[in-house]
């Protein structure tokens, strides 16, 4: 069959070539015509006026004359191109055959045909080129079942089409296609017939719009007629939805589909949700404004049937190589239930978020960054259907300007900080904070060093200046007014400011004891300017039973000086223990001893205050806000210190001998051992044969060394960390009147099998206790009984996680990158509520179907010794233990189940549990989230398309329950 087909094509083709060669006067066929890279210039219309022929009489002039006065004349005659001539050649190729129809001036390409003209490229199983009409026709083929084997694909600029049949005019840029599929952004447009009238405008008949990328999409919108403007919009008449080719009997009078590839203004559609305390509501109704190339604004609001509402304005801005940022300002009016109900609640709150970052490429050495997250203390508590935000208790902000001078050793930083705790309703603002630092300078360093540096050349001096201003207040003005204190006076009373000047001096000395011990001396001097002094007085109540220590701050600035001198010694000790199997235990100990002296330079500010009826007094510094008492020893800790700090850190490793991945071959081993027989072979003759296995005694050491070398070639050491760190630290103060030894802190940490993290720590007071639980001047180990002291607090935590290998590692890598890009988007980070809302409304983007299962669990146990109860004669101890768990697994390739929760062993109750079921519906996503346990219970069901262009086309059902109210 193959041979017959080749003869059937080649013979007529040779005949056509012979005819064309004989008709050179009609057609001028180039010599480079072949199937690959052929052009259509030979189809251009020929000039019917013949040029004069060559003179047949030769002219032989024996005189070679050259007239230098005459210039060569250039013939100005040229052929005019026809108006129908194309502006560029048409290139084409085919993998099977090329058929040329001379009379029709048509070429037919078979088998992976490809043709290109300017920026247009067309591929199809069959292509016809008609030079007389400047048309190209693309056709497809079908198999025996009637299914298409391939599509005709056309690319022109940013446009791309897939069609069953296509006809296109090179000259007019108009065309007609059948069974066409084209992509416009995230939208796929299927049309029975498409008429292309110009470069950017098309008309479709029997058009189907969808975001599913399959040839037979799962859903879409069907319209009879449509007009499509490339990369802008599509407009249709009456339209209805279809799911799996099943029409839904719901018609819309017209359809409008935005096809923009950038920002564009438009309405933000709301979603319907239900809240147990707020009623039925519309969430997310708003509008998106594009102000210019650098600014846009998004406005959204929520409204509920019980009277609650909220408004949120979110502008964003970005200028390349300069800066970028976003902000969010929200007002929230919360009204739960109805007036007269016992649980009626109404409150007005606000929130403000701002994120800004500058690009240092615009102003080298200068940066300005801001991250502001502030709100009313009740704002997060009243965000509906979002328990993650409801539990967010602490908020913080920072605004920083930094300046680094080029080739200068100093820098400047000005910042403002904000912190608030929603439970206590206390807000602290620190502004302005000024920091001016001078890098360490070496005044004795030689400009042109010769040889090694002297010890005094490594003497460094620096300077640090810090100015800080703090302001603390409650977010409710009425709290202050009810106590008879005006808001302004209260702010002045709580404002504290101060400045610190510090001069650190460092010196690097050479190691001692043969380089085994490092020595690091240090000297530091600073003086602080404090805005006020504080006096404490002992007062009795009117009943005489209770006492109180009152403080009265006064605006009287003072200077507090501080100085410290230190000398540190540290080294590392190594020990190895060989095991029977050739493995080794490696122990590393790092002792660190620090000697320090801190004089008390503020004795003139020293005062004492009576603390009880017995007349006991405690000392304090007027420039400190409160007396500083040790919670375990009840002893005042003076600023004066002369003592020693001691710490001892250890780690333990196992060096295990394992086989190499590519061990040496047996042939090489035998070759190495064959040299041991050389003494026997030297005897010669028959004896040498009898003594072939003899090894002399002086070669035994060689046997051991070669055997060890053979093992080292086959194996290698693998390092396994058994204990990453364990040790203790304490301090001793020579100036203390008593209880000179500080509490002993011990710790332990390790990671077993690279899976189980273990951290533990404890604190001991190294003194005996009296009948009231107070420390006395007697060490715990005195009296013949050994002990570390009184146990004050301890904690143990364990955590581990397991997961299966991803089915497709490359896909998992891309998924993680996509998630990180989303989570690290500065526009989302500026507003944590928006980030959490995005994760809640797009759950399928954060579900890992590529990993079949994963599991994590953690456990915490803590002990704290409280005050001593004299009535019960025991310590008021507090023991807490809890566990957190989470995991997910794929029920099938498309179904995923996950659960997260926590259990408190102290109360023997579940703290919170949240479960979710997600289904990957190819072009859709579905999730069910339920939290049946905890203060904030909720239920949500969401099904929506994955494409962002249809993000508002979703079914969303939410319900939340506050204060543990049931379903």
Question: pLDDT for 99-155, tens place per residue?
Answer: 988 888 889 999 889 988 888 888 999 999 988 888 899 988 888 887 888 889 988
Tokens of 477: 């003005």
CB 618, CB 609: distance < 8 Å: yes
Residue keyed to tokens 């990671």: 751
d(CA 873, CA 860): 29
| 135-139 and 120-130 strand pairing | antiparallel
Tokens of 925: 């996503």
d(CA 105, CA 402): 74
Supply the DSSP string of 141-174, one letter for each residue. Answer: -B-TTS-BS--EEEEETTEEEEESEEEEETTT--
Where is average pLDDT lowest: 6-10, 135-139, 487-491, 523-527?
A: 6-10
Q: Which residues of 612-644 are buried (b: 16+ CB within 10 A; e: fewer)?
A: eeeeeebebbbbeeebeeeebbeeeebbebebe
For 941-967, write each residue's pLDDT tens digit: 888 888 877 766 777 776 766 554 433
CB 257, CB 250: distance < 8 Å: no
CB 41, CB 28: distance < 8 Å: no
First to last CA, the chain: 75
Give the pLDDT mean for 888-903.
89
The length of the chain is 967
- Output the pLDDT for position 236: 94
d(CA 235, CA 254): 8
Q: Which residues of 895-906 are buried (b: 16+ CB within 10 A; e: fewer)?
A: ebbbbbbbbeee
In this predicted structure, the answer to whether residue 215 has a pLDDT above a threshold of 70 is: yes
CB 625, CB 534: distance < 8 Å: yes
Where is average pLDDT lowest: 18-32, 507-521, 712-726?
A: 18-32
**Residue 893: band (very low, low, confident or very high) from pLDDT cuts 50, 70, 90:** confident
Helix H or strand E encompassing 642: strand 641-659
Angle 236-237-239 from CA coordinates, rounded to 5°: 90
- pTM flag (> 0.75): no
For 711-764, write each residue's pLDDT tens digit: 556 677 788 888 999 999 999 988 887 888 989 999 999 998 888 999 999 999
Between 210 and 698, the higher pLDDT residue? 210
* Cis peptide preceding 432, ω within 30 of 0: yes
Torsions phi, psi for 379 (to 5 deg): -65, -55
DSSP 457: G
d(CA 930, CA 932): 6
- Output the pLDDT for position 662: 58
- Output the pLDDT for position 711: 54
d(CA 540, CA 726): 50
Helix H or strand E encompassing 552: strand 547-554
d(CA 466, CA 468): 7
Q: Give the distance, in angstroms, between the CA of residue 939 and the centroid of all CA atoms in the same chain.
A: 28
For 301-359, write each residue's pLDDT tens digit: 999 998 999 999 999 999 988 999 999 999 999 998 788 788 788 899 999 999 999 98
For 793-843, write each residue's pLDDT tens digit: 899 999 999 888 887 777 777 767 766 666 565 545 544 545 555 555 555
Tokens of 554: 């006064």
Q: What separation in angstroms does the CA of 942 have from each of 835, 836, 837?
A: 17, 15, 13
In this predicted structure, the answer to whether residue 664 has a pLDDT above a threshold of 80 is: no
Where is average pLDDT lowest: 54-58, 216-220, 223-227, 398-402?
A: 54-58
- Output the pLDDT for position 484: 59
The burial of 915, by beta-carbon neighbours within 10 Å (0-12 exposed, 13-18 middle, 19 or more buried), is given as middle
Residue 390 in 3-state DSSP?
helix
Residue 469: CA count within 13 A, CB half-sphere: 11
Helix H or strand E encompassing 755: none
- Output the pLDDT for position 103: 85
Helix H or strand E encompassing 811: helix 809-823
Give the pLDDT mean for 554-572.
85
- Output the pLDDT for position 737: 79
- How would you write 577-641 as a 3-class SS string? EECCCCCEEEEEEEEEEEEEEECCCCHHHEEEEECCCCCCEEEEECCCCCCCECCCCCCECCCCE
Enumerate the β-bridge partners of residue 188. Answer: 183, 210
Give the pLDDT mean for 185-209.
90
**Which of 845, 832, 853, 823 is closest to 920 using CA atoms?**
845
Torsions phi, psi for 383 (to 5 deg): -75, 120
The burial of 949, by beta-carbon neighbours within 10 Å (0-12 exposed, 13-18 middle, 19 or more buried), is given as middle
**Which of 844, 815, 832 is closest to 916 using CA atoms?**
844
In this predicted structure, the answer to whether residue 638 has a pLDDT above a threshold of 50 is: yes
Residue keyed to tokens 């010694």: 569
Residue 348 in 3-state DSSP?
strand
d(CA 655, CA 294): 59
d(CA 903, CA 890): 24
d(CA 922, CA 683): 83
- Output the pLDDT for position 449: 76
E-state strands within 276-409: 279-290, 295-304, 309-319, 323-336, 345-358, 366-375, 394-404
Could you tell me what percent of the chain has a pLDDT over 90? 26
d(CA 960, CA 965): 9
- Output the pLDDT for position 783: 74
| 790-803 and 853-869 strand pairing | antiparallel
Rg (CA), the chain: 43
In this predicted structure, the answer to whether residue 49 has a pLDDT above a threshold of 60 is: no
Supply the DSSP string of 176-220, one letter for each residue. Answer: EEEEEEEEETTEEEEEEEEEE-SSSEEEEEEEEEES--SSS-SEE
d(CA 570, CA 590): 7
Helix H or strand E encompassing 833: helix 832-841
Tokens of 663: 């061990």
For 222-240, write each residue's pLDDT tens digit: 999 999 998 888 999 999 9
- Output the pLDDT for position 369: 93
> Average per-residue pLDDT in the chain?
77
- Output the pLDDT for position 413: 96
In this predicted structure, the answer to whether residue 499 has a pLDDT above a threshold of 80 is: yes
Enumerate the β-bridge partners of residue 505. Answer: 461, 523
Supply the DSSP string of 695-747, one letter for each residue. Answer: --GGGHHHHHHHHHHHHHHHEEEEEEEEEEEEEEEEEEETT-SS--BPPEEEE
Give the pLDDT mean for 924-949.
81
CB 198, CB 909: distance < 8 Å: no
Give the pLDDT mean for 286-309.
92
In this predicted structure, the answer to whether residue 25 has a pLDDT above a threshold of 50 is: no
d(CA 499, CA 488): 24
């Amino acid at each position: 069959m193959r041979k017959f087909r080749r003869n059937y094509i080649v013979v007529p083709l040779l005949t056509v070539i012979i005819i064309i060669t004989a008709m050179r006067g009609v057609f001028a066929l180039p010599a480079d015509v072949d199937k690959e890279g052929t052009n259509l210039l030979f189809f251009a219309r020929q000039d019917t006026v013949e040029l004069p022929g060559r003179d047949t009489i030769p002219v032989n002039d024996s005189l070679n004359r050259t007239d230098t006065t005459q210039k060569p004349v250039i013939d100005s005659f040229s052929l005019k191109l026809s108006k129908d001539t194309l502006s560029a050649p048409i290139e084409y190729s085919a993998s099977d055959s090329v058929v040329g129809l001379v009379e029709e001036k048509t070429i037919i390409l078979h088998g992976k045909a490809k043709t290109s003209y300017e920026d247009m490229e067309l591929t199809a199983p069959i292509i016809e080129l008609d030079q007389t009409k400047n048309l190209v026709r693309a056709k497809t083929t079908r198999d025996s079942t009637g299914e298409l084997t391939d599509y005709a694909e056309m690319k022109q600029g940013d446009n791309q089409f897939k069609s069953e049949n296509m006809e296109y005019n090179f000259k007019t840029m108009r065309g007609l296609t059948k069974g066409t599929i084209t992509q416009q952004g995230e939208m796929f447009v299927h049309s029975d017939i498409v008429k292309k009238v110009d470069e950017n405008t098309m008309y479709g008949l029997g058009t189907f719009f969808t975001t599913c990328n399959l040839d037979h999409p799962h859903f879409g919108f069907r319209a009879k007629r449509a007009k499509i403007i490339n990369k802008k919009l599509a407009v249709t008449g009456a339209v209805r939805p279809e799911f799996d080719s099943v029409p839904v009997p719901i018609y819309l009078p017209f359809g409008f589909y935005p096809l923009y590839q950038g920002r564009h203004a438009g309405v933000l559609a709301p979603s319907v949700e239900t809240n147990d305390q707020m009623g039925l509501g519309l969430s997310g109704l708003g509008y998106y404004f594009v102000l210019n190339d650098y600014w846009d604004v998004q406005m959204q609001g929520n409204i509920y049937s019980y009277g609650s509402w909220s408004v949120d304005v979110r502008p964003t801005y970005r200028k390349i190589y300069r800066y970028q940022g976003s902000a969010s300002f929200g007002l929230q009016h919360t009204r739960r239930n109805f007036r007269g109900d016992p649980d009626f609640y109404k409150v007005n709150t606000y929130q403000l978020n701002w994120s800004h970052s500058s690009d240092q490429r615009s102003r080298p050495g200068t940066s300005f960054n801001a991250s502001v997250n502030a709100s009313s203390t009740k704002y997060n508590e009243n965000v509906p259907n979002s328990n993650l935000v409801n539990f967010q208790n602490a908020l913080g902000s920072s605004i920083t300007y930094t300046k680094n001078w080029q080739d200068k050793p100093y820098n400047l930083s000005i910042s403002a900080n904000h912190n608030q705790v929603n439970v206590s309703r206390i807000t602290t603002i620190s502004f302005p904070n000024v920091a001016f630092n001078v890098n360490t300078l070496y005044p004795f360093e030689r400009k042109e060093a010769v040889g090694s540096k002297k010890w005094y050349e490594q003497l460094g001096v620096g300077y640090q200046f810090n100015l800080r201003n703090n302001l603390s207040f409650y977010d409710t003005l009425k709290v202050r007014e009810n106590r008879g204190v005006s808001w302004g006076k209260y702010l002045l009373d709580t404002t504290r400011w101060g400045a610190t000047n510090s001069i650190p001096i460092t010196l690097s000395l050479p190691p001692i004891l043969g380089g085994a011990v490092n020595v690091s001396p240090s000297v530091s001097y600073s003086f602080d300017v404090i805005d006020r002094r504080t006096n404490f007085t002992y007062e009795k109540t009117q009943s005489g039973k209770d006492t109180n220590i009152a403080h009265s701050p006064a605006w009287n600035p003072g200077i507090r000086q501080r100085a410290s001198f230190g000398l540190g010694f540290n080294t590392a000790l190594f020990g190895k223990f060989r095991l029977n199997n050739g493995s080794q235990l490696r122990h590393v100990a790092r002792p660190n001893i620090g000697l320090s002296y801190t004089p008390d330079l503020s004795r003139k500010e020293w005062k004492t205050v009576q603390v009880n009826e017995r007349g006991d007094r405690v000392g304090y510094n007027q420039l400190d806000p409160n007396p500083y008492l040790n919670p375990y020893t009840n002893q005042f800790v003076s600023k004066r210190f002369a003592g020693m700090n001691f710490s001892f850190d250890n780690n333990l490793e196992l060096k295990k001998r394992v086989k190499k991945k590519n061990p040496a071959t047996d042939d090489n081993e035998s070759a190495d051992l064959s040299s041991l027989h050389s003494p026997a072979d030297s005897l010669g003759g028959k004896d040498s044969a009898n003594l072939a296995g003899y090894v002399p005694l002086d070669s035994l050491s060689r046997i051991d060394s070669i055997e060890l070398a053979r093992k080292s070639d086959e194996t290698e050491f693998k390092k396994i960390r058994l204990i990453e760190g364990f040790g203790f630290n304490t301090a001793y103060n020579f100036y203390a009147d008593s209880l000179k030894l500080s509490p002993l802190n011990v710790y332990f940490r390790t990671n077993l099998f690279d899976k189980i993290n273990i951290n533990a720590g404890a604190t001991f007071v190294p003194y005996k206790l009296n009948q009231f639980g107070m420390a006395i001047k007697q060490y715990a180990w005195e009296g013949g009984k050994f002990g570390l002291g009184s146990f004050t607090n301890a904690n143990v935590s364990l955590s581990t996680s397991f997961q299966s290998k991803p089915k497709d590692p490359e896909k998992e890598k891309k998924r993680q990158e996509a998630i990180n890009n989303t989570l690290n988007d500065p526009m989302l980070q500026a507003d944590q509520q928006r980030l959490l809302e995005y994760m809640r409304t797009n759950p399928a983007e954060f579900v890992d179907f590529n990993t079949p299962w994963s599991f994590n669990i953690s456990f915490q146990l803590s002990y704290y010794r409280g005050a001593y109860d004299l009535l019960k004669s025991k310590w008021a101890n507090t023991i807490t233990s809890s566990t957190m768990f989470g995991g997910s697994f794929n029920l099938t390739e498309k179904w995923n189940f996950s659960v997260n929760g926590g259990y408190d062993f102290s109360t023997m109750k579940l703290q919170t549990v949240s479960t979710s079921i997600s289904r990957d519906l190819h072009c859709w996503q579905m999730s069910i989230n339920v939290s049946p346990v905890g203060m904030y219970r909720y239920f949500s069901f969401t099904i929506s398309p994955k494409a962002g262009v249809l993000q508002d086309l979703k079914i969303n059902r939410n319900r939340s329950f506050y204060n543990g109210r049931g379903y």
